[in-house]
């Protein structure tokens, strides 16, 4: 563990984990914490950021990160941010998204999907599917497209892959999942075994937080908890998780079941890091190295394409 990672773990244990020890999860406190955590992040040199507010002919909200030079990027990524389905936003995840997109040379739409509890399941999934289908309708070849996400967004990305396959849509080239939350029934063994080792979450908070998005649905619905899905026919997956996080089993069990279904899976378990440590880039060196690995995976599996849509085109 680097000293930078040790500092990140100390800060989380001091300022974030105490919130997850409380008997009730507060949506308001979580959203307020996320808003104060948003820091000014510079757009990578040679790239431009366009925020889409969902007005006019673009009902979906999110952010495009695109190269300033038209035609200089040949791949596209649809990114789903984490935050338990009830807080955070594309703005809170800019360090991760900017770092991955620039490394992979991938134009990226970071989706601002609807949040629970105001919009429970399947609202987030519906938004992710609509965004993906709009990318295809705008001329993005599926073989040049990657869907990615972290934590709840990692589970959402995987659920979208399952739903797209079941609906007969063309599938993207690959999926990238950072510390994915894939089991909202909260049955993973590491929820207990890593309780106290995870610098960010207590184990009991996982089941409590799940209720916001689950609502009245069955938490084992595979479109809600993709751990319970049949993974046959999915594209290659890269999964990165920390050895000490309570959601480690959400990653390991998906990797095992997907591999058994014939899916090409790369599971990387990084030692003693915070949940979604990628957000701490560029401060934490392990975050930079993990994003380097993810970018390599994207470049390996997503084909370059000859043409591209006009810069700033927004999924709708």
Beta strands in 102-235 (DSSP E): 106-111, 145-150, 174-178
Q: Tell whether 316 is covered by a domain.
A: no
Q: HSE on the CB side for 140, CA within 13 Å?
A: 32
What is the model's pTM? Answer: 0.94
| Number of Cα atoms under 13 Å in the Cβ half of residue 109 | 32
- pLDDT for position 250: 98
Considering the domain boundaries, does residue 310 fall inside one?
no
Range of the domain at 275: 3-301
What residues act catalytically? 151, 245, 275
- Unique residue bearing structure tokens 């599996």: 301
pLDDT tens digits, one per residue of 134-156: 999 999 999 999 999 999 999 99
Please report the pLDDT score of residue 72 as a whole number.
66
Q: Which two tokens stand for residue 104?
A: 């992979």
For 79, what's the count of Cα atoms within 13 Å in the CB-facing half-sphere?
29
| 216 found inside a domain | yes
Q: Would 312 be classed as within a structural domain?
A: no
What pLDDT sits at residue 313?
Answer: 44
CATH assignment of the domain containing 135: 3.40.50.1820
Assess contact for 92 and 38: CB atoms under 8 A: yes
| Low pLDDT (below 70) residues in the chain | 55-59, 70, 72, 305-316
Of residues 171, 174, 105, the one with CA closest to residue 146: 174
pLDDT of residue 37: 72
In a domain, 62, yes or no: yes
Task: Please tell me the total count of domains within the chain.
Answer: 1
Say what the pLDDT of residue 306 is: 41
DSSP β-bridge partners for residue 267 = 239
Residue 73 lies in a domain: yes
Q: How much is the pLDDT for 67?
A: 92
């Amino acid at each position: 563990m680097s000293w930078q990672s040790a500092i990140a773990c100390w800060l989380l244990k001091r300022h974030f984990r105490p919130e997850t020890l409380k008997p009730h999860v507060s949506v308001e406190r979580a959203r307020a914490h996320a808003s104060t955590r948003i820091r000014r992040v510079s757009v990578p040199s040679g790239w431009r950021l366009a925020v889409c507010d969902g007005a006019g002919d673009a009902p979906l909200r999110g952010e495009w990160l695109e190269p300033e030079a038209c035609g200089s990027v040949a791949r596209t990524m649809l990114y789903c941010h984490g935050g338990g389905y009830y807080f955070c936003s594309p703005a809170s995840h800019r360090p991760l998204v900017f770092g991955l997109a620039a490394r992979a040379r991938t134009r990226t739409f970071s989706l601002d999907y609807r949040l629970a509890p105001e919009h429970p399941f399947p609202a987030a999934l519906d938004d992710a599917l609509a965004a993906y289908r709009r990318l295809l309708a705008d001329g993005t070849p599926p073989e040049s497209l990657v869907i990615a996400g972290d934590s709840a967004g990692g589970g959402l990305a995987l659920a979208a892959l399952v739903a797209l396959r079941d609906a007969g849509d063309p599938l993207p080239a690959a999926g990238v999942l950072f510390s994915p939350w894939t089991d909202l029934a909260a049955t993973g063994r590491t929820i207990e075994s890593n309780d106290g080792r995870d610098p960010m979450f207590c184990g009991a908070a996982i089941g409590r937080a799940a209720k916001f998005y689950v609502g009245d649905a069955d938490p084992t619905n595979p479109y809600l908890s993709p751990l319970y899905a049949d993974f046959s026919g999915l594209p290659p997956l890269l999964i990165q998780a920390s050895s000490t996080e309570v959601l480690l089993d959400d990653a390991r069990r998906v990797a095992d079941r997907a591999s058994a279904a014939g899916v090409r899976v790369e599971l990387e378990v990084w030692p003693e890091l915070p949940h979604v440590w990628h957000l701490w880039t560029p401060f934490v060196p392990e975050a930079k190295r993990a994003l380097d690995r993810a970018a390599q995976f994207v470049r390996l599996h997503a084909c370059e394409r000859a043409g591209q849509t006009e810069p700033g085109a927004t999924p709708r």
